[in-house]
């Protein structure tokens, strides 16, 4: 069994002590947002419902299935570009309106639709039970805290963090819609490091994606912690990069940083 696949406390503690023996001086701890600190039960169909309702109020009668189809077409188009550049939610909604044939009224209805989309996103979001306590504990211990998130909508990310009392705890927030580059691109990680003035080997990044979080962080020399879901095993998947540590709960990170 891979040394990375088990989250057994004894094995994890051995890994922590191995790092301690290496003399790592970690000053900053970075987190991914969605799937790591917070998550949402809001799928594309519910977002289409909110948008259809708002369009009807604005005088445009489109069914939820039409909106959903347009959203999916836009998503497929962006993926087909094969780029790690981020596109804003307003831009993506503009593409949706063009798909629906509403070119002549984009200027008038874009902002109301953007607000409807935000309402959908914020309607059923939750924080993992140990997210806030882990951030507060790390803050008390003197670590710099940062967020590195792929998002098309900074305003919604900000509001979610504020809702759960996390926003004020971060010293730096690197949102892809503001930096223009998505994880796993090196640029967004280097930007985040520059915001708190630490070197890559003085920082740890924690996230749930082996590609975006683990491979991205390690590409610039940061330590990477993989937050697994459903006890996944690295031996059972094609991992683009191996994490330095694996945790099932964020609270396990506290044992690691206490030793380093």
pLDDT in tens, 36-87: 999 998 899 999 999 999 999 999 999 999 999 999 999 999 999 988 999 9
Please tell me whether the overall predicted TM-score, pTM, comes out greater than 0.75 for this model: yes
Domain residues of the chain, as ranges? 9-39+127-259, 44-122
Collapsing DSSP states into helix, strand and coil, what is residue 201?
helix
pLDDT score at 232: 56
Selection from 160, 159, 48 nearest residue 113 by Cα: 48
133 φ/ψ angles, rounded to the nearest 5 degrees: -65, -35
Domain 9-39+127-259, architecture per CATH: 3-Layer(aba) Sandwich (3.40)
pLDDT score at 79: 92
What is the Cα–Cα distance from 99 to 95, expressed in whole angstroms? 6
Q: How many CB atoms lie within 10 A of CB 91?
A: 15
pLDDT in tens, the chain (260 residues): 444 444 444 344 445 444 433 345 899 999 999 999 999 988 999 999 999 999 999 999 999 999 999 999 999 999 999 889 999 999 999 999 999 999 999 999 999 999 999 999 999 999 999 999 999 999 999 999 999 999 999 999 999 999 999 999 999 999 999 999 999 999 999 999 999 999 999 999 999 999 999 999 999 999 999 998 765 555 555 667 889 889 999 999 887 766 55
Following CA atoms 69, 54, 88, 75 in sequence, which dihedral angle do they give, to the nearest 10 degrees? Answer: -10
pLDDT score at 121: 94
pLDDT score at 234: 53
Q: Specify whether the CB–CB gap between 58 and 109 falls below 8 A.
A: yes
pLDDT score at 260: 54
Radius of gyration of the chain (CA): 20
Quote helix, strand, coil % in the chain, to nearest 5.
Answer: 55, 15, 35
How does DSSP assign 36-69, residue by residue? TTEEE---HHHHHHHHHHHHHHTT----HHHHHH
pLDDT score at 25: 85
The helix or strand, by DSSP H or E, that contains position 31, with its residue range, turns out to be strand 28-31
């Amino acid at each position: 069994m891979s040394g990375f696949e088990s989250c057994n406390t004894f094995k994890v503690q051995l890994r922590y002590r191995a790092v301690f023996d290496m003399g790592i001086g970690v000053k900053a701890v970075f987190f991914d947002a969605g799937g790591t600190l917070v998550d949402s039960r809001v799928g594309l169909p519910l977002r289409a419902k909110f948008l259809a309702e708002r369009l009807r109020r604005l005088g445009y009668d489109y069914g939820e299935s039409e909106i959903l189809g347009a959203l999916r077409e836009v998503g497929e188009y962006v993926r087909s570009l094969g780029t790690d550049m981020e596109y804003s939610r307003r831009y993506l909604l503009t593409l949706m309106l063009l798909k629906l044939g509403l070119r002549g009224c984009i200027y008038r209805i874009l902002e109301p639709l953007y607000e409807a989309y935000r309402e959908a996103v914020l309607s059923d979001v939750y924080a993992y039970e140990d997210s806030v306590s882990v951030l507060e504990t790390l803050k008390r211990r003197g670590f710099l805290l940062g967020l590195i998130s792929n998002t098309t909508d900074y305003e919604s990310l900000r509001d979610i963090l504020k809702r759960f009392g996390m926003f004020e705890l971060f010293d730096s927030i690197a949102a892809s819609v503001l930096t223009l580059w998505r994880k796993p691109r090196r640029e967004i990680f280097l930007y985040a490091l520059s915001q708190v003035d630490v070197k890559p080997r003085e920082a740890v990044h924690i996230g749930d994606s082996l590609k975006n979080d683990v491979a991205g962080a390690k590409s610039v020399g940061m330590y990477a912690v993989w937050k697994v879901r459903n006890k996944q095993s690295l031996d059972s998947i094609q991992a683009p990069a191996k994490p330095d540590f694996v945790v099932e709960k964020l609270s396990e990170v506290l044992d690691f940083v206490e030793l380093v």
